[in-house]
Amino acid sequence: MLTTSQLKMLAAGGVEIGAHTVNHPILSRLSAGQAQEEIIDSRSHLEDILQQPVGLFAYPNGQPGKDYGDEHAKMLRAAGFTAVVSTAWAVNGAASDRYQLARINSWDKTPLRFIMRVADAFRRGLLADFPNM
């Protein structure tokens, strides 16, 4: 979705760029070898463009147990990534698996909708690791 120039500009501006596979496949639908190739090649390609290490990864689609499994988290750990995000809807705490991090997406159309979603996460106990917030 971004050009090489745009990627370089973002990285130069301090934005950390992460890998996301080459062809955006659902990793759970691939053989282990194909998944590994998508993961490694995406990072290699970005590192060639940016001339710096790429340590982050985002699972395509990202639903735990559906779009990827524990075996993919192990691949990413073995490949030397430092953290990986899923699309599980929650906030992470000290005990969270760095290779299956959840997040609260910020794709709302207004700031108020985002605030309401974060408040709902508190209400539903999704932020249990943050009792003082």
Residue-range domains of the chain with CATH: 4-105 (3.20.20.370)
d(CA 10, CA 22): 19
Tokens of 110: 């207004």
Name the DSSP class of 85: E
The answer to whether the beta carbons of residues 124 and 117 sit under 8 Å apart is no
Would strands 83-89 and 56-58 be described as parallel, antiparallel, or unpaired?
parallel
Q: State residue 127's pLDDT score.
A: 53
Q: State residue 132's pLDDT score.
A: 39
The answer to whether the beta carbons of residues 105 and 87 sit under 8 Å apart is yes
Of 66, 114, 64, 70, the C-alpha closest to 86 is: 64
d(CA 82, CA 95): 15
Q: State residue 92's pLDDT score.
A: 80
Query: What parts of the chain have a pLDDT lower than 50?
Result: 130-133
Q: State residue 104's pLDDT score.
A: 75
Q: State residue 90's pLDDT score.
A: 77
Q: State residue 126's pLDDT score.
A: 58
Q: State residue 125's pLDDT score.
A: 63
Question: What does pTM read for this prediction?
Answer: 0.83
